[in-house]
Amino acid sequence: MSQKQTLSFQAEVAQLLHLVTHALYSNKEIFLRELISNASDACDKLRFEALHNSALYEDAPNLEVRVSFDPEARTLTIADNGIGLSQQEAIDNLGTIAKSGTREFMNRLSGDQKSDAQLIGQFGVGFYSGFIVADKIAVESRRAGLPPAEGVRWVSGGAGDFEVETMVRAQRGTSVTLHLREDAQDYLSSWKLKSIIGKYSDHISLPILMRKEEWKEGEEGKPGEHVLTGEWETVNQATALWTRAKKDITPEQYQEFYKAISHDYEDALAWSHNRVEGSTEYTQLLFVPGRAPFDLWNREKAAGVKLYVKRVFIMDDAEALLPAYLRFVKGVIDSADLPLNVSRELLQESRDVKAIREGNTRRVLAMLEDLAKSEKDEAASAEDKGRFAKFQAEFGAVLKEGLGEDPANRDRIAGLLRFASTQSDTASVSLADYKARMKEGQDAIYYITGETQAAAAHSPQLEIFRKKGIEVLFMTDRVDEWALSYLTEFDGTPLQSVAKGQVDLGKLQDESEKKAAEEAAESFKPVLARLKEALKDKAQDVRVTTRLVDSPACLVVTDGGVSLQLARLLKQSGQKAPDAKPVLEVNASHPLVRKLEGSPNFNDLAHILFDQALLAEGGLPEDPAAYVKRVNALLA
C-alpha cells in the first residue's frame, strides 16, 4: 500500500462543505437520494463503456447498488459495482468542482441560509451532501479494467483537506461509507432507509439491495428484536419510471423523479409523459421546472435532457433533443431507434433525432399552452392559475429567444408571451388580449422598449398614446429588441415601436389635430433649420411631432433602425453598435421650444433639449460636464 497523500480541497469545495455541514439543506435525508443517484450513474457509465469493451464487466455482469449499515460502528455504506474511480479520478472528482458556472455560483452565495440552501440544491453538490449527516466519509473504489492493486481509498472529515492512498480492492466499483454524527443515528434503521429509498429512489432502474430483517424472539425476560440476515433483498421497483404505465405512477412519484434528475428542491410546474410511435419510436418524460437555475444565461453550461437508447444510459445534457430556447426543460428521452454508440456529433446529423427534437418541442409548447389556459379557467385552483405567471417570471425571457430560433413555431411562441403595459403593471397581457381591446380604427400593436418598466412607463414617447387611451406594451427584457426583429406582426396585425419612425395614429387622430400639426410644422420651419445646424453632429434630423403632450422633445430612430436602447446594450456587452444618429422630435407648442425663437442662447438651448431628451429615454449626454455648464449658465 502506498504512502498516504494529504491534499487540500479546491477553495470552492471548502466553501461548499462549510455550508453543507452547517445543515443548509432543510431536508437532511436528501443525502441518500444524491448518493444512490451517483451510484446509479456509475453503473450507467459502466454499461455504456462496456458496449465497446465487455471485459469491463469482469466477473460481475449484474449491476446493482447496495445499502448497508452498522449500528455499532455508526456507519452507513452505499456501494455500487459500476465504473469506479482511479486514484487520479478520486482526487479530481472528489476534491474539485469542474463545473462551468462554478465561479458565478460562488458569487451568488449571500450568507443567507435559506437562499444559499436553494442555490446549493440547484448546483447539485451530489457527493458532498453526505457531510450533512457525516463527520467523516471514506470512499473505496477501483475503476473497471484496472488491476486489484490499483484500488484507491479517499478519506475526509469535511474540513480543508482529504487523504488518498492506493489499496488492494478485489471488486470494481465504489463504496461510500458515512461515519454518522450522533444526531444522525436515525439512519441506522432498515425501516427508515427503506422509506427514504421508496420516496426518492424507487424510480432507479437498477436493483437497490438491503439485507433482509427477521424477527428474533427474546430470551427469557428480554424483548425480541429485528436482526439483519445474510440475505439481500431488492427494496425498490428497479424499473425505470418512464417505462411504467402512466396510470401506475402517482404525481408524487413524478415529482420525486424530477427532483432526482434535476437536483431541484422545488416541484416541477408541469410534466408530460408519452410513448411516441410511428417512423421514430421513443418515450419522452419532460418537466417544466418551477424555478430558473442560477446559470440559465450561461452559454457555456451544458443543457438538455438525459438520453437513453433501449433503456441504456447514453448521455446527460443531450442538447440536440431540444432547441436552445427550451434549455430549462428537464427530463428523459428513451429511443428505440438510435444506435447504442451514438455520439454528440451523430446526434446533430440524425434524422431520427430531428424528429425527436420536433416532437419534444411541440410537447413542451403544448404543456405551456395548457398552463396558460389554467390562468383563465374559473374551475382551476388558485395554485394552478398562478403556475403560468410563475413560469413567465422565471423563463419568459428565454422563451422569447424562440422567436428568432424557431420560425416553425413562432406563432405559438408569440401566443405564450406576456407583457406589462400602460394598462397593466404586471406581465400578464398577451398579444391576443391586447388585440381584443384595441380601439376602433387602431391598426397596430404598439410597444416601447426600456431598461426597466419604470423607465419605459415614464418615456415621453407615450404621451400622445396616454392622451388617446391607446394601450402600449412594455418590452423590458434584454432579449426583447433582438426577438422583436423576428416578430413583425401577430395574427395579421403589425407590431409598431412608438420610438421608431414618425407617429401616425391614422384614424385615431382627428382632422383638426392633423391640420394643427401641419400648420405648426410649417410655421416652425426656420427654427427647425437652425436646430438641424446646431445639432448636426448629434441628430440625424429634427422635426415637429404630434406624439408629445407635456414634454418639449424626445429622441426616436428611423423605421428599421437600431433603437438607442439596443445600441446601449450592444456597447455594454462589448459589441460594436451602429453609429446611426437619432432623430430629435420637438413639441412646437411647448414653452421651452417656443423660447428658442429669438433667443440669444439658441445653441445652448438646442443642446440642452437634445441632452434632456437623451436623459428621458435612459441615456447619458456624451459630455455631462458641458450639459451641466449650459444648464447652470441659463439658470444664472
Prediction pTM value = 0.74
The predicted pLDDT at position 441 comes to 83
Task: Pick the range with the lowest mean pLDDT from 4-18, 118-132, 249-263.
Answer: 118-132
Residue 523 confidence (pLDDT): 80
Q: Given this model, what pLDDT does residue 447 score?
A: 92
Residue 293 forms part of a structural domain = yes
C-alpha closest to that of 144 among 233, 75, 69, 53: 53
Band of pLDDT at residue 26, cut at 50, 70 and 90? low
User: How much is the average pLDDT of 484-499?
Assistant: 90
Q: Which amino acid is at 492?
A: G
pLDDT the model gives residue 39: 93
| pLDDT score recorded for residue 288 | 96
- Our CA dihedral for 16, 19, 20, 25, rounded to 10 degrees, sits at -120
- The Cα 79–Cα 64 span in angstroms is 8
What pLDDT is recorded for position 474? 94
Q: Which region among 140-154, 310-324, 354-368, 460-474 has the lowest average model confidence (pLDDT)? A: 310-324
pLDDT digits (tens, 9 = 90+) for 183-213: 899 999 999 999 999 888 888 889 999 999 8
For the domain that residue 181 is a member of, what is the CATH number?
Answer: 3.30.565.10
Highest mean pLDDT among 22-31, 78-87, 289-298, 300-309: 78-87
CB-based contacts of 519: which residues, under 8 Å, 6+ apart?
A: none
Q: Partners of 584 in the beta sheet?
A: 542, 555
Residue type, position 611, single letter: D
Name which of 25-29, 279-283, 368-372, 525-529 the model is least confident about: 25-29
Tell me the pLDDT band of 482, cut-offs 50, 70 and 90: confident
Res 349 pLDDT > 70: yes
Side chain identity at residue 569, one-letter code: L
502 falls within a domain? yes
Say if residue 62 is in the same domain as residue 126.
yes
Q: How many CA atoms lie within 13 A of 339 on its CB side?
A: 12
Q: What is the CATH number of the domain that holds 358?
A: 3.30.230.80
Distance of CA 73 to the CA centre of its chain: 43
Residue range 216-271, pLDDT digits in tens: 776 776 776 767 778 999 999 888 899 999 999 999 999 989 988 887 878 999 99
Residue 562 lies in a domain: yes
For residues 521 and 499, membership in a common domain is answered with no
What's the pLDDT band for 348 if we cut at 50, 70, 90?
A: confident
Whats the size of the chain, residue-wise?
A: 636
Rounded alpha-carbon distances, angstroms, from residue 298 to 117, 394, 425, 455, 514 = 21, 15, 29, 27, 50
* Shared-domain flag, residues 461 and 337: no
d(Cα 487, Cα 407) in Å, to the nearest integer? 10
pLDDT in tens, 575-613: 666 667 888 888 888 888 888 887 888 988 899 999 988
Which residues form the domain of 56? 5-236
Contact 78, 40 (CB under 8 A): no
Q: Are residues 226 and 259 in the same domain?
A: no
**With bands split at pLDDT 50, 70 and 90, how would you rate the model's confidence at 366?**
very high
471 and 515 both lie in a single domain: no
Average pLDDT, the chain: 85
The span from the first CA to the last CA of the chain, in angstroms, equals 88
Percentage of the chain beyond pLDDT 70 is 87
Do 130 and 253 belong to one domain? no
pLDDT score at 268: 95
Give me the mean pLDDT over the 369-394 stretch: 87
State mean pLDDT over 50-66. Answer: 93
Identify the CA nearest to 268 among candidates 202, 334, 328. Answer: 328
Bigger pLDDT: 562 vs 276: 276
C-alpha cell at 266: 422545488
Q: Which of 205, 236, 267 is the last residue of a domain?
A: 236
Specify the higher pLDDT residue, 507 or 283. Answer: 283
Q: What pLDDT is recorded for position 452? A: 86
User: Residues 514, 537: one domain?
Assistant: yes
The answer on pLDDT for 23 being more than 50 is: no
Number of structural domains in the chain: 4
Does 182 lie in the same domain as 295? no
Domain end among 185, 219, 236 = 236
Domain assignment of residue 541, yes or no: yes
Residues 216 and 332 in one domain: no
Answer yes or no: is 394 within a domain. no
SS3 string, 123-178, reads: HCCHHHHHHHCEEEEEEEEECCCCCHHHEEEEEECCCCEEEEEEECCCCCEEEEEE
Whole-number pLDDT of residue 345: 77
460 and 532 co-located in one domain: no
